[in-house]
Structure 1
């Protein structure tokens, strides 16, 4: 079956070459065969020329077919190399995830477990009510962190196999529990519809969570106010704190929290801005478009 114009042209050229060679070698009309008197040298030269004329289209067709086969072979080789590079990259990523899972399980989880144990002991034997309450908060947060770490380890170890079901993601309904359990004197004010997209709700939750964590680390004794409002097609989440009342402890920080919040907001078409306030405090503002002008 002829599938391409090149195939049709090659076959036509071959058939045409054979026909030309036949008619060129055999004189016409056939009745003149007996009358033709050619010398032996002339006949051999004429025969060689005729055979070459007939063979040229055949060689041309073979050349075109070889070129087509070579192109297909090169395309197959390119696809095979691309697939091999993909498999190699996936293998490297799988090894890195497995190593990360081991580090999280053996180091991070172990240390958080120790924090939870020590906080539990302090909760029982604390010298006063404030200390025991703080120890209870530390223990609760440590246990929640351990649960999240265990899930992250299971997800990393399952990379390359069938997807695992993720844990329920936080929403705006969890803001109250987040603020109340932050260990900070904080006030929550919200005025939001109930049908906001889940990615927007998660972005608000993670922004408030990161802001409260930073206040707890860098502004001890400060009071916080969390406002989440919606209007004019834009959602605004503001977390502001007063000036700290005591020096902050020198805790390690990778300084990736705000960068991650900005990246999350940019993916949703929004922005995150932050900076000090006039009273010595700090304010963080998240703005996200919701597409609803109400």
Structure 2
């Protein structure tokens, strides 16, 4: 949901900048402000749910590697994608890769919406390696709230699968996310 609301906020921000008149820019500003409030309320709700420690989860179809092209296309970002991962990977690994790329693209839209993005995935030895790297922002950033829970959740998901996640700024003012997961895994808890 946060992913979709962020897309709406980004589009409203663009409409606010390019509006033909003050009324149109005002409507876009209102939409963007509502998105910001909604994102904040969603984050607060997630924090409450995380604190409750519930374990019951609704079973629903989860995204897999085959869903990545649609995710990238719908992001609206200038993205080059080189994902060479077999669709025979275990389902928890496929979901982890999908969620990792999803969070990476969401972060780019929030912090550098006009930056170029490179998404890559490959198997190296006994590990699945996935990178989401963006270049520098080419215009003013949108002021969208962030809780940091997205990166924390990615790290937790990677850890549950016996892997790791690293993130940080790049020398060119871009940002990079790196995921490393063992091809063979024994999850310590259900991963959704």
Find 1:204's aligned residue among 79, 97, 101. Answer: 97
Change in Cα spacing, 1:164 to 1:287, as seen in structure 2 (3 Å) is closer
Structure 2 residue 133 is the aligned partner of structure 1 residue 270: no
Structure 2 residue 76 is the aligned partner of structure 1 residue 183: yes
CA distance in 1, matches of 2:173, 2:132: 14
C-alpha distance after superposition, 1:144-183 (max 9, x if no partner): xxxxx9xxxxxx9xxxxxx886221000000000001101
C-alpha distance after superposition, 1:221-274 (max 9, x if no partner): 100000010121100000001100012122111111100100000000000001
The Cα RMSD (Å) is: 3.1
Task: Report how far residue 194 of structure 1 moved.
Answer: 2.0
1:84-95 alignment runs, 5 A limit:
none
4+ aligned runs moved over 4 Å, structure 1: none
Structure 2 residue 144 is the aligned partner of structure 1 residue 251: yes
CA distance in 2, matches of 1:173, 1:223: 22
Larger radius of gyration between Structure 1 and Structure 2 = 1
CA distance in 2, matches of 1:241, 1:171: 23
Find 2:63's aligned residue among 170, 173, 187. Answer: 170
CA distance in 2, matches of 1:228, 1:242: 18
Going by fraction, where is strand more abundant, 1 or 2? 2
Task: Report how far residue 216 of structure 1 moved.
Answer: 0.5
Structure 2 residue 175 is the aligned partner of structure 1 residue 279: no
CA distance in 2, matches of 1:238, 1:200: 15
Name the count of aligned residue pairs: 145
Give the secondary-structure state (helix, strand or coil) at the position aligned to 2:75. Answer: coil
1:65-76 alignment runs, 5 A limit:
none
CA distance in 1, matches of 2:124, 2:148: 32
Q: Which residue of 1 aligns with 2:107?
A: 214
CA distance in 2, matches of 1:224, 1:265: 22
CA distance in 1, matches of 2:183, 2:77: 30
User: TM-score with structure 2 length normalisation?
Assistant: 0.67
C-alpha distance after superposition, 1:114-145 (max 9, x if no partner): x69x97xx8xxx86xxxxxxx9xx9xxx9xxx
Query: Greater relative contact order (Cα 8 A, min sep 6): structure 1 or 2?
Result: 2
Q: Which residue of 1 aligns with 2:133?
A: 240
CA distance in 1, matches of 2:87, 2:150: 27
Q: Which residue of 1 aligns with 2:182?
A: 289
1:33-52 alignment runs, 5 A limit:
none
